């Protein structure tokens, strides 16, 4: 450090400071250390230091909230995704078009943002939330309305309202986990590779919230089966995502998440590319229980 306390440079002999001069595995070890540090500060100090897409507790909260949905509610949220996947296997009409410049139909991933919400009627400060809503001039029944359908003033009011509700819960040290629900999902969109190998990541046409999603769904065109089968696959897929979070922090996953199968695409690519990892996407892999 210099005299002001700022980190001036790092000194160590383990690997090059310049990422371009490190091996792929050395870079992954650095990323593991970074992810573990973020998670340690979150777990031990309570600071929100873990990005949502690699936050195991947040993804599990989404998984558990989805489990509480009725079949009709699940279909309303993820029916288009199921329809799109099914269209690869029979004459089901596609929910969205396959991008014209995709290298092939199977080079496309189907993505959807999932957001958590809080059913304030199930919290111990429900009356205060109602009062805050009145103060900000908003109708709590509008919580299911897409943000794109709201006026600028209404969006601003909702932002101020939600910030105050979060502050209220935090200052009271209230555990609102039992009140978590699926607050909304984005429309379906794609990520794909074109014939030249270039990656393209789209954007949803409709997104209910102007914030990072609590979980990103990205599925290859698998056979979804019946609604019951798709729900089971969906739950297993989220378990695999949670597994990936721990593995790529250099930690052994909790027993519940010692599962095999595809989770995050980025993690799957690393498992296949780096010898430091077993291939957790391989259902016949017998190295799963070995500590990464």
Rounded Cα distance, 113 and 218, in Å: 9
What percent of the chain shows pLDDT beyond 70? 74
- Average pLDDT, integer, range 88-116: 95
Q: Which residue has the tokens 């027993």?
A: 255
Task: State the burial class of residue 258 (Cβ atoms within 10 Å of its Cβ: 0-12, 13-18, 19+).
Answer: middle
DSSP string of 231-278, one letter each residue: HHHHHHHHHHHHHHHHHTTT-PPPGGG---S---HHHHHHHHH-TTS-
Could you give the 3-state DSSP secondary structure of residue 216?
strand
pLDDT tens-digit map of 263-281: 998 888 888 888 888 888 8
The pLDDT confidence band at residue 40, using thresholds 50, 70 and 90, is: confident
| pLDDT exceeds cutoff 80 at 1 | no
| pLDDT exceeds cutoff 60 at 143 | no
**Among 279, 235, 243, CA closest to 264:** 243
Rounded Cα distance, 112 and 167, in Å: 28
Chain-centroid distance, C-alpha 32: 18
| pLDDT exceeds cutoff 80 at 160 | no
Rounded Cα distance, 9 and 11, in Å: 7
- Average pLDDT, integer, range 167-187: 70
| pLDDT number for residue 30 | 79
């Amino acid at each position: 450090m210099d005299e002001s306390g700022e980190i001036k440079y790092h000194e160590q002999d383990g690997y090059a400071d310049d990422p371009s001069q490190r091996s792929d595995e050395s870079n992954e070890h650095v990323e593991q250390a970074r992810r573990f540090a973020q998670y340690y500060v979150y777990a031990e100090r309570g600071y929100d230091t873990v990005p949502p897409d690699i936050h195991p507790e947040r993804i599990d909260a989404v998984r558990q909230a989805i489990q509480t949905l009725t079949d009709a509610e699940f279909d309303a949220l993820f029916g288009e995704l199921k329809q799109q996947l099914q269209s690869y296997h029979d004459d089901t009409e596609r929910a969205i078009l396959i991008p014209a410049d995709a290298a092939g139909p199977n080079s496309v991933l189907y993505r959807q943002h999932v957001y958590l919400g809080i059913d304030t009627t199930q919290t111990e400060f429900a009356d205060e939330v109602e009062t805050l809503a009145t103060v900000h001039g908003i109708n709590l029944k509008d919580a299911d309305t897409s943000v794109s359908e709201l006026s600028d003033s209404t969006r601003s009011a909702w932002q101020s309202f939600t910030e105050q509700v979060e502050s209220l819960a935090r200052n009271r040290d209230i555990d609102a986990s039992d009140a978590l629900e699926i607050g909304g999902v984005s429309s379906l969109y794609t990520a794909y590779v074109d014939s030249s190998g270039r990656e393209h990541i789209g954007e949803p046409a409709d997104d209910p919230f102007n914030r990072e999603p609590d979980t990103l769904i990205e599925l290859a065109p698998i056979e979804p089966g019946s609604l019951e089968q798709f729900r089971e696959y969906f739950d297993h897929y989220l378990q695999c995502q949670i597994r990936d979070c721990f593995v790529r922090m250099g930690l052994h996953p909790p027993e519940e998440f010692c599962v095999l199968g595809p989770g995050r695409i980025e993690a799957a690519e690393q498992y296949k590319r780096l010898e430091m990892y077993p291939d957790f996407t391989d259902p016949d892999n017998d190295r799963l229980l070995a500590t990464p």
